[in-house]
Structure 1
Amino acid sequence: MTKEEQFLYKYLNNASPTGFEASGQQIWLDYLKPFVDKYFTDSYGTAVGVINPEASFKVVIEAHADEISWFVNYITPEGYLYVRRNGGSDHMIAPSMRVNIHTDDKMIPGVFGWPAIHVRKGDKEDKPSLENIFIDVGARSKDEVEELGIHVGCVVTFRDELMDLNGKFYAGRALDNRIGGYMIAQVAKKIKDSGKELPFGLYIVNAVQEEIGLRGAEMIAAKIKPNVAVITDVCHDTTAPMYNKVKSGEQVAGNGPVLTYGASVHKKLLDLIIDSAKKRDLPFQRAAASRGTGTDTDAFAYSNDGVPSALISLPLKYMHTTVETASKKDIESVIDLIMAFLDDLDPEFNFKYID
């Protein structure tokens, strides 16, 4: 396994729930530090590595570090835990899943329990919902639960690790969007290895709290005040069963990065990225957003006095599950596309629509 793969597995297998990203951010920073000139973090844990920090023109490449999870919300007298969402966690996939409950000093294993099929009522009341999913930690009373260090507010994550799928895909939890953190770190490594001198400052940003409303990106955009921002995130592979291409468009895992058109995506910046791809015959796909993109692109675009921003997405199967699946080829293509754009970017380019 290469050093890059070792980092990928270590980073993806580490839990970094929204609001509790510190351990994953430390892993990411430790990997990134050799490739940047300086780094810093903010009060909520967003981590930033900087190449050529003295330059006045600032370019951001960004991903978000947090993953969806749960909070313990209620402990029954019998020792069962009920939960509430931390981000867009899906109650439908919870029954029978193994979990870790993060206490103040250790992790406690548990399971989302569920009654057997032959004892359920067979109507809508036996379908998973936020009101009926529960966790069993092997306790028979609330006192036993509390003796384990579990209390209301403890965060809960699924216990699943990254796996290689047929040599062509990765599958696991939290590819949304720690795979983005991996990709932008590889961009920094490639720049360092090449010895290339950038004509601008490059800020490699791994933001927190995207899953609850782009909060980390809002904070760091105000701090950095970039001139340009290119965001990486994931989008849906819509070729899998149960997707509606008429509604969601057609994006295919394995066919390259997806470039989104939308109000918060700066068209002149998007055109530069497309030009870079076409010059090198790099694969890409297109998508459209009717309002905002729902990603940190929106936070950067509408920060400060407005920042030209664009979105490069990785097609992902089964988003917000424990088996999020992405093409290895697409991951490399996203890295190549960001590198191509950075190679071509002229800091003197006029991004204004109207002079």
Structure 2
Amino acid sequence: MRKESLAFLEKLLDAPSPSGYEQPAQRVFRDYVAPYCDELTTDVMGNVFARISGKGKDLPRVMIVGHTDEIGLQVKYIDDKGFLYFAAVGGVDAHLTAGKRVNVHTAGGPLAGVIGKKPIHLMDAKDRETVVKLESQYIDIGAKDKKEAQKLVRVGDAVTFESAFTRLVGDRVSSRGFDDKAGCFVVAEVLRLVAAGKKKLAVDLYGVSSVQEEIGLRGGTTSCYAVNPDVGICVEVDFATDQPDVEKKHNGEVALGKGPILTRGANINPHLFDLLSVAADKEKIDVQHTANPRATGTDANVMQISRNGVATALVKIPLRYMHTPVETVSLGDLEAAAKLIVATLERIASREEFIPR
């Protein structure tokens, strides 16, 4: 991967962005894409829009979107001893939280803490087999009492898991937040590649870094309404099934390093799917396939039914260990996804071609 792109990816992943608190990551996105677009704006929700105008008149509008928000925690209560009780932002697994290092994002900057747990020596046998509910877990920042903790932390402060970008064997990398900063990264790389192209596209392109996907596809809903696209491509992550404890019958045969995933189903416009497939074949980009017979739980869902309807598709990145601090992807899959989308954009001729006949 290009060293500048890799540096951007690391910086994007490092920036905290639980749903509703995305702006540290959005600032990283804006800074990176600014040289590549004709117009860069942010709406009241916090969605970022980067537009590259095409060549011609009355061009189809194409929106590509990846959400920048990640799962996390939010401080709900500070007890008399200075321990912080919290709630989940998005789908946080209570199996994983105890014993984790965290950062509490305060007005004074990030504050280190740990999620404590009763020692196993002091637990009854039955309690050792029980998962402690999130509402009963707590963060220890080292404060001696409530008064000291309240000088540093406010109710409502966001919390992220401590996680460093880690290089594994080959091109595999691990970090928190690849869901869906992987998609946000691909959107940025598409903008960069389009800007570097020799010819202008025959579409008006909008690259969107959306917010609040993890709590109900909220930024995807408002951003699509604002852009009013004819065509929408959502870049997301999907469950890899090449780890030992995942059943392939659930999500098909999906592996890291074998290319981006193209989804088929009711949420996907057939002609747009075909364009992606032809582009993959012509450009010799390996792709994988999954099936989804109903609305997907992604921004593609709300894009498709925005206003009078949008021709939508999903390009997904294979991901291991979703919603953990060690989400793992292949860098090659990220690069291939960006190239595939650019090759598809070059094949779009009109908005009418997506209407079923």
What TM-score does the superposition give when structure 1 sets the normalisation length?
0.95
What's the CA shift for 1:281? 2.3
3-state SS, counterpart of residue 136 of structure 2: coil
Counterpart among 191, 207, 210 of residue 207 in structure 1: 210
Read off the aligned partner of 1:233 and give its amino acid letter: E
Read off the aligned partner of 2:116 and give its amino acid letter: G
Which structure 2 residues correspond to residues 148-227 of structure 1 after superposition, within 5 A? 148=152, 150-227=153-230
In 2, Cα distance between the equivalents of 1:249 and 1:348? Answer: 32
2:31 aligns to what?
30
Gaps of 5+ in 1: none
2:134 aligns to what?
130
2:263 aligns to what?
260
1:187-229 deviation digits (Å, cap 9, x = unpaired)? 1111222232111100011100100011001001111100000
Question: Does 1:6 find its partner at 2:7?
Answer: yes
In 1, Cα distance between the equivalents of 2:269 and 2:289? Answer: 15
2:75 aligns to what?
72
What's the CA shift for 1:267? 1.6
1:268-316 deviation digits (Å, cap 9, x = unpaired)? 2111111111222211111111321101000100101010100000000
Counterpart among 146, 150, 158 of residue 150 in structure 2: 146
User: Percent of counterpart pairs with the same letter?
Assistant: 36
1:59-89 deviation digits (Å, cap 9, x = unpaired)? 0111001010111112221221111111112
In 2, Cα distance between the equivalents of 1:312 and 1:78? Answer: 48
Q: Which moved more, 1:91-100 or 1:297-306?
A: 91-100
In 2, Cα distance between the equivalents of 1:65 and 1:348? Answer: 28
1:279 aligns to what?
282
Read off the aligned partner of 1:128 and give its amino acid letter: V
CA RMSD of aligned residues (A): 1.5
What's the CA shift for 1:56? 3.8
Contact 1:264–1:302 (8 Å) recurs in 2: no
Contact 2:87–2:135 (8 Å) recurs in 1: no
Read off the aligned partner of 1:14 and give its amino acid letter: A
Counterpart among 216, 221, 233 of residue 230 in structure 1: 233
Contact 1:98–1:112 (8 Å) recurs in 2: yes
Displaced runs of 4+ in structure 1, greater than 6 A?
none
What TM-score does the superposition give when structure 2 sets the normalisation length?
0.95
In 2, Cα distance between the equivalents of 1:319 and 1:299? Answer: 22
Read off the aligned partner of 1:136 and give its amino acid letter: D
In 1, Cα distance between the equivalents of 2:272 and 2:176? Answer: 32
In 2, Cα distance between the equivalents of 1:128 and 1:178? Answer: 29
Q: Which moved more, 1:231-240 or 1:287-296?
A: 287-296
Cα distance change of structure 1 residues 141 and 286 upon mapping to structure 2, 3 Å threshold:
same
Contact 1:55–1:201 (8 Å) recurs in 2: no
In 2, Cα distance between the equivalents of 1:107 and 1:115? Answer: 26
In 1, Cα distance between the equivalents of 2:354 and 2:173? Answer: 37
1:64-120 deviation digits (Å, cap 9, x = unpaired)? 010101111122212211111111122211111111111223221110111222222
Contact 2:178–2:327 (8 Å) recurs in 1: yes
In 2, Cα distance between the equivalents of 1:239 and 1:276? Answer: 26
Read off the aligned partner of 1:235 and give its amino acid letter: D
In 1, Cα distance between the equivalents of 2:133 and 2:246? Answer: 22
2:324 aligns to what?
321
Count of aligned pairs: 353
In 1, Cα distance between the equivalents of 2:4 and 2:35? Answer: 13
Q: Which moved more, 1:119-128 or 1:239-248?
A: 119-128
Cα distance change of structure 1 residues 145 and 56 upon mapping to structure 2, 3 Å threshold:
same
In 2, Cα distance between the equivalents of 1:200 and 1:332? Answer: 22
Contact 1:55–1:199 (8 Å) recurs in 2: no
Q: Which moved more, 1:179-188 or 1:42-51?
A: 179-188
1:300 aligns to what?
303
Cα distance change of structure 1 residues 305 and 77 upon mapping to structure 2, 3 Å threshold:
same
1:27-60 deviation digits (Å, cap 9, x = unpaired)? 1111101111111111011001100077542001
Q: Which moved more, 1:217-226 or 1:151-160?
A: 151-160
Which structure 2 residues correspond to residues 51-66 of structure 1 after superposition, within 5 A? 51-52=52-53, 56-66=59-69
1:217-254 deviation digits (Å, cap 9, x = unpaired)? 10011111000001100000012122111222221111
Contact 1:70–1:156 (8 Å) recurs in 2: yes
What's the CA shift for 1:336? 1.4
3-state SS, counterpart of residue 344 of structure 1: coil
What's the CA shift for 1:349? 4.6
What's the CA shift for 1:131? 3.1
Q: Which moved more, 1:243-252 or 1:210-219?
A: 243-252
